[in-house]
Chains A and B, each alone.
Chain A
Amino acid sequence: MWEYAPAPESRDIANLKPNYRMFVDGKFVEGSGEPLKTINPATEEVLAEVSTASESDVDSAVKAARRAYDRVWSKMPGSERAKYIYRIARQIQERGRELAVLESLDNGKPIKESRDVDVPTAASHFFYHAGWADKLGYAGHGPDPKPLGVAGQVIPWNFPLLMAAWKIAPALACGNTVVLKPAETTPLTALVLADIIQQCDLPPGVVNIIPGAGDVGAALVGHTDVNKVAFTGSTDVGKVIQGQLAGTSKKLTLELGGKAANIVFDDAPLDQAVEGIVNGIFFNQGHVCCAGSRLLVQESIADELIEKLHARVSTLRVGDPLDKNTDVGAINSREQLTKIKELTESGEAEGATRWTSECSLPDKGFFFAPTVFSGVSQAMRIAREEIFGPVLSVLTFRTPEEAVAKANNTPYGLSAGVWTDKGSRILWMAQRLRAGVVWSNTFNRFDPTAPFGGYQESGFGREGGRTGLEAYLDV
């Protein structure tokens, strides 16, 4: 092994400001909630102070969205809406580097991921949905589908800008207006997106962005004048929201947790599979709802695969998110780090064999070394609960039927992976896996044209593709 020289991206590119304000009715305004301080999880320094919404701010944001819906956006021809959305896509591309650096600062993810995945995919979501705005009649939801009205959207901290794009782009394309609450720990890129939206000259009130904690999300979701709720986050909160909306006419889509099985058969190309497993669980520090957190390996190759996996994971570089060589960045918050530690301790206590990379970790900030548990049984918490961190649990199987049974033995059902050289087996497996996305000989692929979403307690509704439009149409 050789040493890498540091290759840090300059933080000045983020144009970080000391204060950020919420975006309501086309203007940046002070919220009357308690301001929050957002920190850099890699250093624990305060990045900026962000104003938050109170309940009355939520109300004024929803009112602004309603006015914009009634007076402008619902009446505008789709071809005109399209051009606004194309503008947003282009501006995200133009300010891509700024957004990438800011995202890595606020979230802790490696710059190579924010630069190569989050930001370009966010732009492509706007680009793709812009094209739908004047073609909704072709989407298979009837000849002239109508929007729902005001959409209240609550998004998580793992892909802050990308989740904002996944939510806002289809809502606007379908003719809805939006009030979006970014996550408490990662509000910054959503507010730069608000700046972009302002520069794109969108009519005031079409998009409103109100930072805050869970109480703001609850007020938004519960607001009587919201027609559509879209939530991405934990299954626990998703259940609360679904319960809260019971008996109302609000349309709901949920994208919740997961405990995906990544299944490797003995005929799989092993080196390629190892890359896919690493990408599946260590991408974005494992803060991915569809992460391949349960590795199911055919017994005959388990030892060989685990050895290769340890060797490969040992080379992962954990550290400064702004360093272009960094593979695994910072855990997003102290709270999340505590949760990861608690679950890994339970894995050891329940008898699984722990292996942790001996990589060096920075002195400051929230970091967790990539960890692989082998000898995991289905009853253990690390096989059942979503860890949402760089921790992989390895289980084994003998027959394809057993692989299917173990993979489906979960209340979740967001994604799955299958590694084998045999095409017919991939399709046989795909047919039986109870998951919304099945990746074959690859993992963690996302595209605006490909619907994404879960079975069972991973939520309902899809984002992306023709199917994803249904969530924002009155059909």
Chain B
Amino acid sequence: MSDRITVAKTYKLYIGGKFPRSESGRSYPVTDAKGTFLANAAQGSRKDARDAVSAARKAFAGWSGTTAYNRGQVLYRVAEVLEGRREQFIAEVATSEGVPAKKAQSLVDTAIDRWVWYAGWTDKIAAVLGSSNPVAGPYFSFSTPEPTGVVAVLAPQQSSLLGLISVIAPVIASGNTCVVITSQDRPLPAITLSEVLATSDVPGGVVNIITGRTAEIAPWLASHGDVNALDLTGAPESIRADLERSAAGTVKRVLRNKQNEDFAATPDMSRLRAYLETKTVWHPMGV
């Protein structure tokens, strides 16, 4: 046994490609499933959320403007870097979720494969969801899916990595950017994921990660005028309806997730579709 004292990590927020502390100066203790102290996480505030939305908006033009092929390669790169951190994630998921190592291993492996699955979608979404429309007239009409913009994601409270990846990857695969409120009590794998994103050619601001109290921050995002869509997955039951009502103020697209969503199962396209607009173009045909 070594007597060496390990260097403990400071877990911070991830906003605009940087790792700031909460502007509020607050933090909260994070424990493992048995209640043993693990680390302090930043307790994000309304101001942090607004900073994150502005970073996400700033990143949107660039990210949505990349070719689908390029986005696919960047996302695949994330999977490569995730694979390199596999052991770290297994340890963090095991302590965060209180599951045996073997179960944690399977959750992490599925999470990496899930990321690969979404990476492969970037240049196929338009072919599957788009169309050429046989309109009754001398026009060429076609419809293509486009990303809606900035998506506020309330990450699942239980599944700290697989669930988190299952809600982030479909948002950014199609070119959206996002602000994610992590699992309140299990936020540490999310911060480690942000370190992966920061070193995988994902431009700063495409994914912004905030730890803290979901019920405190979510209402600010739901009513924020520059947020285009809201994923309710990790919202506490007691405020879901209120969040939807706030979202109606700027006609946000709201994803009401399925009850007890099984993140281990192969997903369908619903999370991709949730954040897409359809644009139809008409052009006359004639000499």
Please state if A135 and B285 are interface contacts (CB–CB under 8 Å). Answer: no
Q: A422's closest neighbor in chain B, by CB?
A: B287
Chain A residues touching B, majority SS: helix
CA distance A127 to B121 in the complex (A): 11
Stretch at the interface among A224-232, A284-292, A425-433: A425-433
CB within 8 Å for A449 and B120 given contacts A138-B269, A424-B283, A424-B285: no
Within the complex, the shortest CB–CB distance from A469 to chain B, in Å, comes to 10
Please state if A431 and B269 are interface contacts (CB–CB under 8 Å). Answer: no
Please state if B127 and A424 are interface contacts (CB–CB under 8 Å). Answer: no
The yes or no answer to A122 lying at the interface (CB within 8 A) is no
CA distance A400 to B285 in the complex (A): 13
Please state if B127 and A132 are interface contacts (CB–CB under 8 Å). Answer: no
Please state if A131 and B285 are interface contacts (CB–CB under 8 Å). Answer: no
CA distance A93 to B91 in the complex (A): 33
Please state if B128 and A428 are interface contacts (CB–CB under 8 Å). Answer: no
CB within 8 Å for A131 and B120 given contacts A124-B69, A449-B127, A465-B127: yes
Within the complex, the shortest CB–CB distance from B256 to chain A, in Å, comes to 23
Contact of A135 among B73, B121, B287 (CB under 8 A): B121
Please state if B120 and A132 are interface contacts (CB–CB under 8 Å). Answer: yes
Q: Which of A72-114 contact B (CB under 8 A)?
A: 79, 82-83, 86
Question: For B97, what are the chain A residues with a Cβ–Cβ distance below 8 Å?
Answer: none
Question: For A140, what are the chain B residues with a Cβ–Cβ distance below 8 Å?
Answer: 128
The yes or no answer to A243 lying at the interface (CB within 8 A) is no
The yes or no answer to B72 lying at the interface (CB within 8 A) is yes
The yes or no answer to A134 lying at the interface (CB within 8 A) is yes
The yes or no answer to B215 lying at the interface (CB within 8 A) is no
The yes or no answer to B32 lying at the interface (CB within 8 A) is no
Against B, the Cβ 8 Å flags (1 = close, 0 = not) of A421-460 are: 0011101100100000000000000001100000000000
CB within 8 Å for A431 and B285 given contacts A135-B120, A466-B127: yes
The yes or no answer to A369 lying at the interface (CB within 8 A) is no
CA distance A230 to B283 in the complex (A): 37
The yes or no answer to B137 lying at the interface (CB within 8 A) is no
Q: Which of B126-158 contact A (CB under 8 A)?
A: 126-128, 140
CA distance A140 to B269 in the complex (A): 14
CA distance A135 to B73 in the complex (A): 17
Contact of B287 among A83, A131, A133, A425 (CB under 8 A): A425
Q: What is the interface of chain B, defined by CB distance below 8 A to chain A?
A: 68-69, 72-73, 76, 113, 116-117, 119-124, 126-128, 140, 266, 269, 283-287
Other A-B pairs, 6, CB within 8 Å; known A130-B120, A423-B284: A79-B116, A86-B76, A138-B269, A424-B284, A425-B286, A449-B68
